[in-house]
Amino acid sequence: MKKIPYLTSSLALGVVLTIIFLFSKPSYGLIEIDITPPLIPNPRLLRAYIALQAWKHAMTSDPNGFTSSWYGPKVCNYTGVFCAPAPDDPHITTVAGIDLNHANIAGCLPEELGLLTGLSLFHINSNRFSGKVPESFRKLNLLYELDIRNNQFSGEFPYVVLYLPSLKFLDIRFNQFSGTVPSQLFELKLDALFFNDNKFQSSLPKNFGNSPVSVIVMANSGLTGCFPSSSLVQMAGTLREIIFMNNGFTGCLKPELGALKGVTVFDISSNKLVGPLPDTIGKMKSLEQLNLANNKLSGYIPESICSLPKLKNFTYSNNFFTSEPSKCLKLPAKDDRKNCIPYRPLQRSPMECKSFYAHPVDCSISGCSPRSSPPPPSPPPPPPPMHPWP
C-alpha cells in the first residue's frame, strides 16, 4: 500500500505549508488551493505552484487566455513557465524561468512570487502589471534577467533589484517609476541597463561611471545636470551603446570622449548641449551610429568623424554648425538640416545664426551652462532607506 509515502509527503507538505503561511500575508487564503500532494514531485515545485496560483489570483484581466493552462499541479507545463534542474541539485526540477512577454495581462505581482527561488529569468514585458515589485524578490538570488519593461509599475525606483546578487540584465523601461535613481544601481555588476521612459527627476549620481554595463539606455528619463563625459570615459572598457536622447543634459562635450573606442551607438540627441564638437570623437573607432540632433552645438564638423571607418549614420540636424567636410555628405545616412551651413538646403535663417553667434560659448568656464551662470551641480540623491526584510 502507499500508506507510508503518503504520510511522509503529507508531513512534508504540512511543514512547507507552515513555512509558506508564515511567509505570506495573513490575508492570503490557503483554502483556495487545490493540492494533490503525490502529483507534485518536490517541495520547490510545490512552492512554485503556490506562487503561480497566487499570481493567477492577482491577475485581473488576461484577455488572450495566456494563463488558461495555469491550473493543476504540473507547473512546468503552464504556458510561459520553464523548468530546469536546480543548479544546487540537478536531480530536482525547479521553475527557472517565467516568460509572459506581450501577454497584455493586468494585475499585480504578489509577494508569493518570492517563493520562486530557482528563477533566473523573469520576463513580463508588455503587460499591464501595476503596483510595485514585491519585497520578496530579494529571495531570488539566482535572478539573472529582470525585464518588466512596458508595464504600469509606479512609485519609487524598485529598490529590491539592488539586492539581487546575480542580476545582469535590468529593463524597467516604459513604466511610471518616479523619484530619484539610486546611486547603488551603478555599483551592480550589470551588463545591460535600460531605465528610459519613466518619470525619474534627478541628475546622475557621481558614481555613475562605476557601472560595468555594455549597454546603457536612459532616453526620455528626465535626467538633468552636466553631460557626464568623465563618467562615460571611466566606463570605456565595457561600454558599447550609449543612448541618452531626450534628457536635460547641459554643458560642452569634452575631448576625452575620444577614449570610448568600443562604442558603436552614441545617441545624445535632444539635450541642451553647447559648444564645439571635439575632433577626438573621430577616435571612437567602432562608431556606427552617431546622433547629435536637437542640441545647440556649434562650430565645424571635424573631418575625422566623417572618416570613421564604420560610421553609417550621422545625424546632426537642428544645431548651429557652420561647416561640414564633403566627406560627411557621402556617408550612407546623414542629416545636416537646420544648421548654419552655407549652400546647404534647409538651414536656419542667417538672422538666427547671426544672433546665436553673437554670444560665443566658452567651454573653459567651469559649470555646465557656460552661457548663463549655472547653478552648482546638484548633490547625488541621499541613499535610499534600507528596507529590512521581515
Ligand X SMILES: *[C@@H]1O[C@H](CO)[C@@H](O)[C@H](O)[C@H]1NC(C)=O
What does the binding site for ligand X look like in residue numbers (CB under 6 A)? 69, 74, 77, 291, 313, 315, 333
Q: Pick the closer one to ligand X by CB: 135 or 288.
A: 288
Q: Pick the closer one to ligand X by CB: 117 or 291.
A: 291
Q: How far is 30 from 17, CA to CA, in rounded Å?
A: 9
Q: Residue 295: what residue type?
A: N
The three cell numbers locating residue 241: 551603446
Enclosing H/E stretch for 305? helix 303-306
Q: Pick the closer one to ligand X by CB: 41 or 87.
A: 41
Q: Pick the closer one to ligand X by CB: 64 or 77.
A: 77
The three cell numbers locating residue 35: 493540492
Q: Find, among 100, 92, 142, 149, the residue nearest to 119 by Cα.
A: 142
Taking phi first (over 0 means left), then psi (-120 to 50 degrees means alpha), and beta for anything else, what does residue 174 get? left
Q: Pick the closer one to ligand X by CB: 129 or 316.
A: 316
> What end-to-end distance do the CA atoms of the chain give, in Å?
43
Q: Pick the closer one to ligand X by CB: 24 or 247.
A: 247
Q: How far is 310 from 289, CA to CA, in rounded Å?
A: 9
Give residue for cell 510595485: 132
Cβ pair 129, 61 in contact under 8 A? no
Cβ pair 282, 305 in contact under 8 A? yes
Q: At closest approach, how far in Å is the CB of 49 from ligand X?
A: 14
Q: What are phi and psi of 76, to 5 degrees?
A: -70, -15
Q: Pick the closer one to ligand X by CB: 19 or 333.
A: 333
Q: What are phi and psi of 3, to 5 degrees?
A: -55, -50
Q: Pick the closer one to ligand X by CB: 148 or 290.
A: 290
SS3 291: strand
Cβ pair 287, 263 in contact under 8 A? yes
Q: At closest approach, how far in Å is the CB of 66 from ligand X?
A: 12
Q: Pick the closer one to ligand X by CB: 103 or 133.
A: 103
| Helix, strand and coil percent figures for the chain, each rounded to 5 | 25, 25, 50
The three cell numbers locating residue 22: 508564515
Torsional sign, CA 123, 125, 129, 132: positive
For residue 82, give every residue at least 6 positions away whose Cβ sits within 8 Å of its Cβ, in sequence order, or none: 76, 95, 96, 97, 98, 99, 121
